[in-house]
Structure 1
Amino acid sequence: MKKILIAALLAVTIYGTGACNKEWLKPEPLSFYEPDLTYTDAASMKAALVACARNARIEYYGDNPPILTEMVFSEVTVEGTTDKSGPAQDLNLLITPDGANFNNADRARIYYYWNEGYKGIKYANTVIERIDNAQYSSQAERNAILGAAYFHRALRYYRLTHQFGDVPALMKEINAPQLEFYSTKRDVILEYIKKDLDSAKDWLQDNVARGEVTKGAVLHLLTKVNLALGKFDEAIASASAIINGGAYALMKQPFGATKKNVIWDLHRPENKSLGENKEGIFMIVDRFGDGGYDGGMRIMRQAVPYWGTNINTPSGRKGTNDNVNPEFIQSNLYGRGIGRCRPTNYSQFELWTDPNDLRHAKGNWMTMEDLVYNEPGLKNNNDAYYLKPLQMRNASGGLLCTDTIRCWFGWPHYKVFIPDTENSPMQGGHSDWYMFRLAETYLLRAEAYYWKDDPAAAAADINQVRERALCAPITAAEVNIGAILDERARELFYEEPRKTELTRISYIFAKTGKAAYNGKVYTLENFSDNNFFYDRVMEKNNFYRNGTVTNHGDKYTISPYHVLWPVPSNSIQGNTYGIINQNKGYVGYEGNRPPLDNIPE
């Protein structure tokens, strides 16, 4: 009874007090986020740019990183996961505007690019809009920060306009909810960011910390934008400013901590950000413990075959083991792959026409026959194949691998081998990564010369890259866009956004009316129905061309309209007072309106 009385009195006290005075219910936060009080000096502005850098980094890291989606919409790879439906294989079926799951490890990562692209723009706009609210040690310091923000915003728009075409152009900081956005013409956005990059190139320096925006990074991106706009003389000038500027050079001799061969050394984690390495123009920085993805890149998990299973010996026994228990731990040498990033015949075989190419040399490039049977049970049974090279077929011609899509292909070991201290077996640890490097600059300038009908100059630039890899030079007569794309595929695997670059080139063909090497001429009027992107992919990608079917029964398909990705339907539907257009080939296209031809100031 006493306990009940005390409880009743306590209730009366609480509710009685509340009835008389509700002030005690008001929250009293310890602090407020006030942007006007936060962005007051150079340090706070640079801190805001860190969000842009992290936003760019995650394209390459984690499981099924977004860069793989760029690669599967191309001629170089397909999605190799064969044990379930959902991964991006039947693109005609799976790629829709309603793909709510298009940003997870079991799907295409299309909406990563939409969502994270606009996040990066938001972060950059915050700095741009507030640039003069802060105090700086000099005008040069202020301009360098503004130039870096211009670069990050331009980088996102360059990608968005070649992934989704006409998109909303948000060039101001948005401080309140807004439901009135409109698609803007792709070329209008490109012209706007070109203006920004033309300013930024004079404000930034190259002698900055790795991971920060360099003058070379601005010029490299400007070269791509100039190409996209058909300004080929300006593309040559911006690329030449990097090549001849003295801050960068192709690495042509063994270097760094490894000194094995220049191709191997160039892609070692410990060498990428060395001061001695003059090739990296814009670096993605990832170190253990720096707040990046747990487990690092996981690149070996993505790009190495699923060799630990589904492979038998000619004697009929299980042949391989990718765990850490066997006597011979093969996964410590090559990583434990799941075959997600499956190369096509084009990128695995057809590209490699020069027997001296270091990028395809034994030790740099791996074939399945370079692996050995390491299953402990083989030793226990005195099987003659223990620690002998893998075989694809037995003596009578029967397959010894039950899933050749996922489990049997070659790969560029020199690029994807990233030692891993966090995962066992190894999946691919922490490493800096090249987003822009000088080899690509040469190939961009070669492309500009191609569009200018100067094949001799184009060949000279392509040969800078080829001869570094010990390849024979090509002649001017051999130069066409196919030769340039081939060299890009050899050199820039897992670096370049391949779909973006194919779409950019497709737009140029459509704008200029220049005949491609296949003899076809393209136009902008029917761009989503007839384009170089689709013709190139179907010519080179044997999976899409042949309608290959996986073990799970899923068919590989692609269509011309995949030259542009679908705009997420939730962005269109939630924009209740404006109009964001959908791309042709996807549900919602019928509601389009002419895109804006200007960007309101």
Structure 2
Amino acid sequence: MKRIYNIFIIVLLLSVFTGCDKFLEEDPRDIISPLNYYQTDEEVMAGVNGLYNNWYDDQLFNNYGILRFYNWGTDEIEPSRAGTGGLAQLCMYNLYEDQQASSVTWRVLYKIIYDANVLIGQISNNDQISEAVKNQALGEALFNRAFAFYHLTNIFGDVPYYRENLPLDEIQFLGRHDKNNIRNEIVEDLQQAQDVLPDIYTGDDRGRASKWAAATLMVKINLIQQNWKAARDKAVEIINNSPHKLRENYKDVFDPLNEFHEENIFQIVYTKDINPQKFGNHFSPRLRDEPAKSKQRDDLEAALTEQGEVFDGTGLEVVMQDLRDKFPLDDLRRPMTICDNYLGFDLKFIYMPKYWALDFINSPRGNHGKDWVIFRLADVYLMAAEAENELNGPANAYQYINKVRERAYEPDKPLSGLSQQKFREAMYDERKWELAGEGHRKMDLIRWGILLDVVQKLENTTYPMAENIRPYHTLWPLPAEELMKNPTLLESDPTNNGYR
């Protein structure tokens, strides 16, 4: 779905309903009433577009964004040079309440929830809206709201929770709600969304949440909740009934010229010159760092230029040595995950080519059109395998994990003959090899209960993660700014997730 900046209605919605800085200071209904605004199908869909626009915020899925929580502080990726400031603190588990990153992330996610509640509340019984648009808007609003609560509970644990169109003076003083109850209820919302959303989109509507995006988010939440049967059944439903298929070649999954392929289920859509993304800068090398032998820099630059490429990124997000050393050498996914030699030049850092943006004409620095994929089918296959193993052991789980491994090895190397525990351990690695850097690793390690163990065993890292990590670091602290505005947030947990 493209962001359309020249449509007055979207600008109006963003300025009125979703203002970030003054979100908790002004009641939008004092300016314009949503009840009077949502009078046509076009106005309703403009409101839905406004929900999606929030995900492009730098604190969510652009620049460093929300991936600082999901990617950093594990055994996959670390910043190559974050200094000693806020970025380094996030990576090395030296966290504190007044970090700007967590504060803005919190605020934008709650902005999505507020806007979704307004939209849902005002269209549900509005007979001026066509039934088709009402169902579409309801499904997308439910998905966006659930997706926001999914991230809030992952990052902060128990958080304020509401699903009604409440006045802001009431929202401001809500206490924390049990994260498990929140997750159970948003699964119900997602099922409602799945029931009304379409299978797939075409044209400029690509990038909206389909019924299968809602279903995939249900699988993820059910795995966190250890609802194994619900997770298995929903994953198998996606595999058997959705239009999504695995690509034959792992490299093709990340083809910037064919991003709307059959494996991708939900993605944040970026477009060069219209709504460009920046995270490609952080994964792409910068020439001033490379190659390992600096006297070869001119030769490397010439070789890059010859094929229309440039090392003009920041090279900030690099692969950890631990991942490089453990990644199987015969795994066909390795070249898209591990790069320490390019065009015959040994590199100083280890990079992840699946996210590179080296084309200086079609993907110049800070103006990348490559999408960020949130869900893809290979992840669903692996979640089906995990849930089935937890339910019944590995006998019927092999079919799902081996389907993913088929394209990873030539000849095939299917798994077999494992105990339930050994299969579980195989899952730990298989998800790492398949989904490295895609924003799943930390939550996997947390829900498996092995984050501390994995991080404490890391060696050769830039930052002292192993020394600093503590059990409470599975969550971020609630932001100090929010605690000052709403002391009620400390009533159920005066320690603020263990940070006090």
| Shorter-chain TM-score range | 0.7 to 0.9
Distance in 1 between the 2:299 and 2:123 partners? 53
- Equivalent pairs: percent with the same residue? 27
Counterpart of 2:278 (choices 294, 297, 306) is 297
Inter-CA distance 90–268: structure 2 relative to 1 (3 Å threshold):
closer
SS in 1 for 2:314: coil
CA distance in 1, matches of 2:366, 2:417: 42
- Contact 2:285/2:311, CA 8 A, preserved across alignment: no
Preserved CA contact (<8 Å) 1:49 1:149: yes
Structure 2 residue 194 is matched with structure 1 residue 201: yes
The question of 1:542 aligning with 2:459 is answered yes
Give the secondary-structure state (helix, strand or coil) at the position aligned to 1:409: strand
Paired position in structure 2 for 1:181: 174
Tell whether the 8 Å contact from 1:359 to 1:365 is kept in structure 2 after alignment: yes
Matched, 1:127 2:140: no
Cα 1:328–1:415 change in 2 (3 A) is: closer
Aligned 8 A contact 2:51 2:144 in 1: yes
> Does the aligned pair in 2 maintain the 1:450–1:458 contact within 8 Å?
yes
Inter-CA distance 70–147: structure 2 relative to 1 (3 Å threshold): same
Cross-structure match for 2:334: 360
SS at match of 2:428: helix
Q: What's the CA shift string for 1:90-129, capped at 9, x where partnerless?
A: 7667310122xx32xxxxxx33432222122112112221
Select the residue among 214, 223, 230 that pairs with 1:234: 230
Partners of 2:163 and 2:362 in 1: CA distance: 41
Flag the 1:583–1:32 CA change in 2: closer, same or farther, 3 A. Answer: closer
Aligned position for 1:63: 63
Q: Name the one with the larger helix percent.
A: 2
Other-structure match for 2:316: 340
Relative distance call for 1:61 and 1:302 in structure 2 (3 A) is same
- The letter of the residue matching 1:287 is T
Aligned length: 460
**Contact 2:272-2:363 within 8 A present in 1 as well:** no
- The aligned counterpart of 1:590 is none
Indicate the residue corresponding to 1:263 in structure 2. Answer: 250
Task: Using the TM superposition, give the Cα deviation of residue 303 of structure 1 relative to its aligned residue in structure 2, in angstroms.
Answer: 1.9
d(CA) in 1 for partners of 2:173, 2:395: 50
Q: 1:233–1:335: structure 2 CA closer, same or farther, 3 Å change rule?
A: same
Match of 1:213? 209
Say if 1:76 and 1:347, in contact at 8 Å, map to a contact too.
Answer: yes
**Is 1:565 equivalent to 2:483 in the alignment?**
no
Amino acid at match of 2:451: F
User: 1:455 and 2:394 equivalent?
Assistant: yes
Q: CA deviation at 1:469?
A: 2.5
The aligned counterpart of 1:492 is 435
Q: Tell me the CA shift for residue 573 of structure 1.
A: 2.0
Which amino acid in structure 2 is aligned with residue 304 of structure 1? S
Question: CA separation of 1:68/1:334 partners in 2, compared to 1, >3 Å: closer, same or farther?
Answer: farther
Distance change in 2, residues 1:482/1:111 (3 Å): farther
1:320 match: secondary structure: helix
Give the residue type in structure 1 aligned to 2:258. N
Equivalent AA in structure 1 for residue 267 of structure 2: M
Contact 1:366 1:412 in 2 (8 A): yes
Matched residue of 2:351: which SS?
Answer: coil
Is contact 2:382–2:431 with CA below 8 Å preserved after alignment? Answer: yes
More displaced stretch, 559-568 vs 49-58: 49-58
* Closer/same/farther in 2, CA of residues 160 and 298 from structure 1, 3 Å limit: closer
d(CA) in 2 for partners of 1:343, 1:578:
37
Gaps of 5+ in 2: 1-29
Instruction: Report the Cα distance in structure 1 between the residues aligned to 2:436 and 2:394, rounded to whole angstroms.
Output: 25
Aligned to 1:468: 407
Conserved in 2, the CA contact under 8 Å of 1:60 and 1:297? no
Inter-CA distance 334–436: structure 2 relative to 1 (3 Å threshold): farther
Secondary structure, aligned partner of 1:333: coil
> How much has 1:62 moved relative to structure 2?
4.4
Query: Normalising by the residue count of structure 1, what TM-score does the alignment of the two structures yield?
Result: 0.69
Mapping for residues 189-588 of structure 1, pairs under 5 Å: 189-208=182-201, 209-252=205-248, 262-273=249-260, 277-290=261-274, 292-293=275-276, 296-299=277-280, 301-309=281-289, 313=293, 318-320=295-297, 329=305, 332-333=308-309, 335-353=311-329, 355=330, 357-361=331-335, 364=336, 367-371=339-343, 389-391=344-346, 408-417=348-357, 419-421=359-361, 426=365, 429-470=368-409, 472-477=413-418, 479-506=422-449, 532-539=450-457, 541-543=458-460, 557-576=468-487, 579=490, 581=493, 582-587=495-500
Query: Which deviates more from structure 2 when the two are superposed, residues 51-60 or residues 448-457?
Result: 51-60
Measure the CA separation in 1 of the matches of 2:53 and 2:136.
19
Q: For the Cα contact (< 8 Å) 1:181–1:579, is it kept in 2? A: no
CA deviations on 1:240-264 (whole Å, 9 max, x unpaired) are: 1110004111122xxxxxxxxx222
Q: How far did residue 441 of structure 1 move?
A: 0.6
Give the alignment's TM-score, normalised by structure 2: 0.82
Contact 2:477 2:496 in 1 (8 A): yes
Deviations 1:440-468 (A, max 9, x none): 11111112112214212222211111112
SS of equivalent residue, structure 2 residue 349: coil
SS for the counterpart of 1:472 is coil
Higher Cα Rg, which structure: 1
Deviation track 1:462-510 (CA, whole Å, cap 9, x = no partner) reads 111111223522224174333223222222233234323332333xxxx
Q: Distance in 2 between matches of 1:201 and 1:221?
A: 10
Contact 2:236–2:384 (CA under 8 A) maintained in structure 1: yes
Secondary structure, aligned partner of 2:117 = helix
Q: 1:84 to 1:160 in 2, by over 3 A?
A: closer
- The answer to whether the 8 A contact 1:167-1:186 is kept is yes
Partners of 1:308 and 1:330 lie apart in 2 by: 18
The question of whether the paired residues in 2 share the 8 Å contact of 1:53 and 1:211 is answered with no
Residue 153 to residue 563, structure 1, CA distance change in 2 (3 Å): same
1:370-419 Cα distance to aligned partner (Å, 9 max, x none): 34xxxxxxxxxxxxxxxxx435xxxxxxxxxxxxxxx7233332443463
RMSD between aligned residues: 3.1
Change in 2 beyond 3 A, CA 1:352/1:421: same
Alpha-carbon distance between aligned partners in 1 of 2:128 and 2:437, rounded to the nearest angstrom: 39
**Structure 1 stretch 441-450 or stretch 452-461: which is displaced more?**
452-461
